[in-house]
């Protein structure tokens, strides 16, 4: 994804933005493997994506707890939903014909846009109160 398009999805929390960027890059690699029928590499990138997602979600949930984010319960259930979708994609990859690129990209970008963006103001006021 080019920098201009990605800037729309920035939370301005560096670690979170860096991880989001890596996640999108991995999704692009998975899409390429899907197009080229490269199941071995595709599955390897899906595993990498699952590992990164688990680390990223753990970090976000820790942050949301720290800043007493009121919608954490729902946000956590969204995270669990994404993990199970990814696990299903891991099973289906190479077997079913799915547009992995669209499915993964939309799932990821919608989550950043609709859910991750919600905790940012809570994080920023928490940060300001720490000074």
Instruction: Select 69 or 116, whichever has its Cβ closest to Fe ion.
Output: 116
Instruction: Select 31 or 60, whichever has its Cβ closest to Fe ion.
Output: 60
Residues 35-94 that bind Fe ion (CB under 5 A): 60
The answer to whether 53 touches 86, Cβ cutoff 8 Å, is yes
- The yes or no reply on residue 116 touching Fe ion (CB under 5 A) is yes
- The yes or no reply on residue 24 touching Fe ion (CB under 5 A) is no
Distance CA 52, CA 115 (A): 18
Within 1-131, residue ranges assigned H as helices are 3-7, 14-35, 39-66, 72-92, 100-111, 117-129
Question: Nearest distance from residue 60's CB to Fe ion, in Å?
Answer: 5
Retrieve residue 4's tokens: 């201009």
Q: N- to C-terminal Cα distance for the chain? A: 35
Instruction: Select 60 or 93, whichever has its Cβ closest to Fe ion.
Output: 60
- The yes or no reply on residue 30 touching Fe ion (CB under 5 A) is no
Residues in contact with Fe ion by the rule CB under 5 A: 60, 116
């Amino acid at each position: 994804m080019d920098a201009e398009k990605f800037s729309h999805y920035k939370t301005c929390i560096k670690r979170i933005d860096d991880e989001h960027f890596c996640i999108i890059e991995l999704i692009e690699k998975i899409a390429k493997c899907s197009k080229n029928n490269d199941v071995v590499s595709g599955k390897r990138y899906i595993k990498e994506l699952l590992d990164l997602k688990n680390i990223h979600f753990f970090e976000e949930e820790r942050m949301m707890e720290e800043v007493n984010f009121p919608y954490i319960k729902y946000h956590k259930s969204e995270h669990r939903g994404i993990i199970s979708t990814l696990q299903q994609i891991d099973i289906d990859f190479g077997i079913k014909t799915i547009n992995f690129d669209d499915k993964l990209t939309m799932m990821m970008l919608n989550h950043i846009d609709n859910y991750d963006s919600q905790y940012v103001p809570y994080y920023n006021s928490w940060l300001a109160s720490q000074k």
